[in-house]
Structure 1
Amino acid sequence: MDIFNEIKKKLSHEFIDIIEWLDSSNDTIVHRFERYQNEIKNNAKLIVREGQTAVFVNEGQLADVFTPGTYTLNTKNLPILTTLKGWKYGFDSPFKAEVYFVNTRLFTDEKWGTKSPFMLSDNRFGLVEIRAYGTYSFRISDPGKFVVNVVGTDGNFTSYEVNEHLKSLIVTRFTDTVGEANLPIELYAANTTELSDTCQEVMKPEFDRVGIELEKFYIENVSMPEELKKEIFEYSRLDKLDMVKLSQFKAAKAMEAAAKNEGGTAGAGMGMGMGFALAQQMGNLMNAPSNQTAPPPSAQSAVPPPIPGQVLYYYVVNSQQNGPVSIEKLRELFASRTINKDSLVWKQGMQNWQPLKDVEELKSFLGGNTPPPLPTA
């Protein structure tokens, strides 16, 4: 009799009667309850703690899902598994089923980033390369869907594995969102909050599809090559400058440098004259309001003196005055069809605007000129 009791006692220990998981890690998302080929005993106790969900899978099919609490496993608490097993009137024998414990707490400070630069098109700088990185937080919102679609038969699924699964999705959706935003390249850093919120809304459906809730998404930095940064800084400065006054200032500096390079008494006299001209130009430059544009030239209007030996022209494009430019620059504008033979031009000494074709020294732009006949002997 004692032998039979020992056998009965030994067999009873082969059946599992308490199913629980004590998480001793900080990164485990899914843990499969190991049975080592032992079966789950009828009326066994299932303990699901706060921040956990227990998922029963039968031969690859999702069965019952248990939220936090303590349960007695029988046909009442296993309705789907009962149907899959074909238990019509209850069961008394042990059964086999895979049990997955899913960690449903919030996983924070997960890293993402672009492994290599990606290309964006900017209206002013053309194709540019940028990189980006940041963090995100998530939780498992649908444990059953997550186990079936992502975990599979993995017995210990960690946050590292889910990050590897999600990183490519994040980078792809981030690239698409930034491209569709069509922001000037220099405004990305100033709009990371708005871009983060937009990316989160775009990515949410993709995460939900596999049972993950994207809680927060942050873009911490958008970087670009140093050469592009320098171009952007220069562009921003030029955009704030009065280009007419800038050209006057550079012309005055060139005159000053030329005077210093002249030698002898003649050079000193020229330097003195240029010094007076420079003083006059700088006085006009400093006294003029910073937001005032150059007035249209006329017979009565005062214009700055041209560089000695160089004639400067003003021209009209789309009813707007432009210039002054040199004759070489005017020739380039004509060649690029920015202006044509009927475009109005003006230089110092002319009383009125005239079409380019009527200005003697500009007729060479039109082509087809032939030299006059040689004088007869």
Structure 2
Amino acid sequence: MGLFDFIRNEFIEVIDWVDNSTDTVIWKFPDNGNNIKYGAQLTVRESQVAVFINEGRIADVYQPGRYELTTQNMPIMTTLRSWKMGFESPFKVDIYFVSTKQFTNLKWGTQNPIIIRDPELKQVRVRAFGVFALRVADAGKFIKEFAGTTPVVRISDVESQLRSAIITNFSDTVAEAGVSVFDMARNYKELGDKLLPMLQDSFTGYGLELTRFYIENTSLPPEVEAFLDKTTQMNMVNDMAKFQQFQAGMALEDAAENGGGVGSAILMGGLGNFMQNSSAANAQPQSAPKEDKGQVMELLKQLGELKAAGILTDEEFTAKKAELLARL
């Protein structure tokens, strides 16, 4: 190696980062003690940011593009180094490249149940799991929090700390959102959308943007799950009772519109199966079970009202009245 080659190798002329990985967030340019040549070419590719650090202080930050390192393109460095009249000599500076692409499918979850203040159950223990996505929004702040003297920082190095931040704030955030565990188990996407801006505060301090936050699964104590099952069954019973009331009301309306035998047949089915068709009643008059007197008297009253309204004919009224009296 000649003297000229030795001197040339002491100066860095091209600065760039070709990222062949999928998980690198911070990469320190390896200067190996070399000085950066005045007028060196800096290339910052898409989804990258280059950060110059001078004596531990963040100086210039370069967005994607191609730059020639001169005093015009290094305004903060020029001020820090007091290069008022420009410079042509080499200089030293730490250069970090930060990936600004979105990192997806990062896992989070509660290792142990956490207590959540619930608007309906007051307090309940819940375990939750899901995924989130992020990107670097403030490269300078992110380097301060995670780089230190480490030349390479991968997303796995960041993920564990952010996962702890999510779990720490999860219970308080759910309580602040006012979402019950009943809704949590049914509307994961909607709940995730509500929690995302609330959790963002924790990520902002690291210079990060939380772009996606999903809840994939929640686990409740067995006794709470049993209570939820009973509640669902109760709701089903209530809904069925309302449906039967609706059918009875429709039967009354049809009877009023149709009148005569057709209307009375529909009505009798809606009164709770106390009245059978005439042929069955005549075929087994002795086998009909005795009904509660109060129920039969109520049906007789309703029959009288239907006859007065003109829905039942005299013959139908007499026949059905005889059937009911035989049940006493």
Whether 1:13 aligns to 2:5 is no
Residue 64 (structure 1) aligned to one of 36, 55, 60: 60
* Counterpart position of 1:302: 294
Of all paired residues, the percent bearing the same amino acid is: 40
Query: CA offsets per residue over residues 208-255 of structure 1, 9 Å max, x none?
Result: 23221111111111111334212221233245547xx9xxxxxxxxxx
Residue 137 (structure 1) aligned to one of 113, 133, 143: 133
Query: CA offsets per residue over residues 125-150 of structure 1, 9 Å max, x none?
Result: 56422111111111111212211233
- Mark the runs of 5 or more structure 2 residues left unpaired by the alignment: 242-270, 275-291, 297-328
- Offset at 1:183? 3.7
**Considering only aligned residues, what root-mean-square deviation do their CA atoms show, in Å?**
2.8
Residue 38 (structure 2) aligned to one of 37, 42, 49: 42
Whether 1:88 aligns to 2:84 is yes
The code of the aligned residue for 1:221 comes to N
Distance 1:6 1:124, change over 3 A: closer
- Offset at 1:55? 0.5
Residue 116 (structure 1) aligned to one of 112, 119, 135: 112
Distance 1:7 1:221, change over 3 A: same
Give the distance between the partners of 1:143 and 1:80, measured in 2 at CA: 16
Give the distance between the partners of 1:185 and 1:41, measured in 2 at CA: 61
Q: Considering fraction of residues, name the structure with more helix.
A: 2
Whether 1:209 aligns to 2:205 is yes
Query: CA offsets per residue over residues 262-307 of structure 1, 9 Å max, x none?
Result: xxxxxxxxxxxxxxxxxxxxxxx9649xxxxxxxxxxx99389xxx
Which TM-score applies when normalising by structure 1? 0.61
Give the distance between the partners of 2:96 and 2:112, measured in 1 at CA: 37
Give the number of aligned pairs.
250
Contact 1:173 1:199 in 2 (8 A): no
Give the distance between the partners of 2:177 and 2:63, measured in 1 at CA: 41
> Any runs of at least 4 consecutive aligned residues in structure 1 with deviations exceeding 6 A, and if so which?
none
* Counterpart position of 1:347: none
* Counterpart position of 2:71: 75
Contact 2:11 2:34 in 1 (8 A): yes
- Offset at 1:90? 1.5
Whether 1:101 aligns to 2:97 is yes
Does 1 or 2 have the higher relative contact order (CA < 8 Å, sep 6+)?
Answer: 2
Which TM-score applies when normalising by structure 2? 0.69
- Mark the runs of 5 or more structure 1 residues left unpaired by the alignment: 246-284, 289-299, 305-377
Distance 1:121 1:215, change over 3 A: closer
Contact 2:100 2:135 in 1 (8 A): yes
Whether 1:156 aligns to 2:152 is yes
